[in-house]
A and B are shown apart, each in its own frame.
Chain A
Amino acid sequence: MAAAKFDTPNMREYPSIPALQPDATAHLKSYLAAPDHNTFLGFPGELVENWQEKAIEKMGDLLGKYRGFRVYMDACVKCGSCTDKCHYFQGTSDPKNMPVARQDLLRSVYRRHFTFAGKYIPWLVGARDLTREVLDEWYSYFHQCSQCRRCSVFCPYGIDTAEVSMAAREIMDSIGYGQKYCNEILGKVQKIGNNLGLPGPALEATLEEFAEEISDETGCDVKIPLDVEGADVLLITPSADFFAEPHIDGLMGYAKVFHAAGISWTLSTYASEAANFSMFIGSYSNMKKVAERIRKAAIDLKVKRIIVGECGHAWRVAYSFWNTLTGVGSGADDPYALQLQKQLDHSYPIPQHICEFTWDLIQQDKLTFDKSQNDHRTVTFHDSCNVARATRMGTEPGGQFDIPRNVIKAVCNNYVDMDPDTIREVTYCCGGGGGLLTDDLMELRVKGALPRMEALKRVIDEDKVNAMAAICAICKAQFSKIMPYYGIPMDTIVSLHQLVKDAIILPGQGEEEAEPAAEASE
């Protein structure tokens, strides 16, 4: 990587609001998408000739299609409540990373073209023409927002910078100015079935290897089934679960839970990806196409239930959007959806989160654990932003906070929470979400992780925490990469179902051998 050198921020003894350093991260610019990445998604390959005109036209189109965007452009009173809430602002001190300032990059152009005051007295209301400089500023700073929605919690009107940044990216895509990381991956998932571009045979071999590992360790014949028609459950999980650490241990955890509960399940080659990066770029049509792969897999494999693995934005897309996009849920009436409704078992939530699934089994007393297997750990939990602020688990608001913690406490003896100002509803993003988990934004990722690293460091020092569980593929990948910058061992980040995996006792396990394998798999 040719990325410029940068300093890891110092941890602050007391979280304080940094003094502004204008343009501190103006130099950050993630790679532009190549023409073929763009055209495959239905966008122009390169910046079109009349891009200004087209961008304004697209903005008008979005203002008519999204009430949120429309209201958010008008309603901000510049009260400043959001200004110190963004992890990227805290880590970089760049004032344009204050949520309101980030929104204003777009709002200034909105005002110029769509409001009376902006048209006739632009200087008064901070209205700007869309120049090349403004476009480049958009590109830089709308790729410094992880769409975590923390700012929207504190906004008196609920203005959600995530929506604004999605709109900005959609406008940029529509004029051929898309980002490589997101757009390249969106091509892979639609051509091959997952973000990695891992083809079916390779996936099959990988899964067999994992299944063998579990079987060797437990003496039980545990399978990780692929493309099994007629299985009860279709598991849709992020493809990172197939190759990255600590994600793999989470996948093995799911496999053990399914095995222990005696529920037949399968993965799908065609839909071997829970992630749907279309959300990050605000593309409804691409989001629908990627989600339709899951509906097709569910229908083809004739499953009764759909369960989603540990992935933050994927759970948002699944929980909040699948029903709207493709009728996975209740209430749709097109022929495909009706077929699916008939096939699915409505006594379970559709879709169901893997944590809801495991917690449900624990409550029914269907799983056996040896909690002491996790005694070498003191665990804390990182609420992933999309799960925390854009979804729910269970039937009660806030279930998305309690259910994962309940599962952890059911399999671990030592659990502590981090500072209440950094968890649950007001949790901090890992620093790599929203389509920013790319090496060309390493500086931003390291700096944006500051608030979470500070909170984690405190429980490491005070409570001897040595494991932070997460339920998001991006969080896990981001933390294992950036923790060393802060002097925290990279294996501190664990999958939630890795803790389940280490404690669960499978039926019949240990009956042949006198002593089950006790060491943790690391």
Chain B
Amino acid sequence: MSFLTVLYALLFYTATALFIVGLAYKIRQYATTPAPLKIPTTPAPTTTSGVVLRMAREVVLFESLFKGTKWTWLFGWMFHVSLALVILRHFRYFQEPVWGIITFIQPFGMYAGFFMVLGLLGLWARRIFVERIRYISGPSDHLMLALLVGIGASGLMMKFVKHTDIVSVKAFFLGLMRFDLQPLPADAPLLVHLGLVAALLIIFPFSKLLHAPGVFFSPSRNQVDNPRERRHLAPWAAELDK
């Protein structure tokens, strides 16, 4: 087994472990921190099903961002939807046989890669050219975009410019999942692509990517507007009642 294969195998085991453990830790932290007061941004739904709908609109359509700025919404939504399609398309490298739905998505997923990079470049352009966004952008914000663009571009390279031995790549990942190492092709675009993806997994629980689990725990979006009818009391606040 080549050094490269072992290195990437270890890298992916480590990255996956950090991603899962880190994310689970943060989700647990969010879930166990009480929200002592009712603070939904109103008008807010008065029922739980209403809140589910509000959250769905927020997560699927980016409703609030749409109200805020159309350009950022356009690029941001384009990026996220494309990314979702691209990720679904990649399921085929982790399963045998491939699900019908994944096969169906394949052509859309392929071209979604372009829209993903386009969306990212749009977001990046705003960071560079809009004075206000430039002011609030730090090195990590630019690097995050660079990382994602790098992932997208290296992936597109493999798909449309310099094909890699995808059958071997699939064998490598299926092998990883069964703890049975298979050789990884030593193609530059592939190694860059996988390296950056592993980096993304590692960074995820330590960065602003926590917006993904965070939105579900945001009290201004996930609370039911019923404070007069139902008493809402956090454990630490209940202590003060005694």
Contact = CB atoms under 8 A, between A and B. Distances in A.
B121 to A, nearest CB: 15
A330 B33 contact: no
Interface in B158-209: 206-208
Nearest to A103: B136
Interface string B205-242: 01110110011011111000101111111101100110
A262 B150 CA distance: 73
Contacts of A475: none
B131 A20 contact: yes
A interface, size bucket: 35 or more
Given A319-B227, A324-B231, A80 B37 contact: no
A320 B39 contact: yes
Contacts of A98: 132, 135-136
A78 B136 contact: yes
Interface in B111-152: 126, 130-133, 135-141, 143
Which of B39, B143, B237 has most chain A Cβ within 10 Å? B39
B43 A70 contact: no
B138 A157 contact: no
B interface, size bucket: 35 or more
Contacts, number: 223
A115 interface: yes
Contacts of B141: 77-78
A515 to B, nearest CB: 44
A330 B217 contact: no
A67 B132 contact: no
Given A66-B36, A68-B219, A77 B42 contact: no
B209 to A, nearest CB: 8
B37 A324 contact: yes
B225 to A, nearest CB: 6
Contact of A397 (B37, B42, B67, B133): B42
A79 B64 CA distance: 12
B41 to A, nearest CB: 5
B214 A388 contact: no
Given A74-B26, A156-B215, A160-B220, A320 B37 contact: yes
Interface in B2-28: 26
Contacts of A323: 227-228, 230-232
Contacts of A285: 240
Nearest to B205: A116
B72 A81 contact: yes
Q: Which 5 A-B pairs have the closest CB atoms?
A: A154-B68, A81-B68, A331-B231, A75-B214, A158-B220
16 contacts: A67-B219, A70-B33, A71-B217, A74-B210, A75-B211, A78-B137, A80-B130, A80-B132, A81-B69, A154-B68, A155-B65, A156-B64, A157-B214, A158-B220, A319-B227, A323-B231
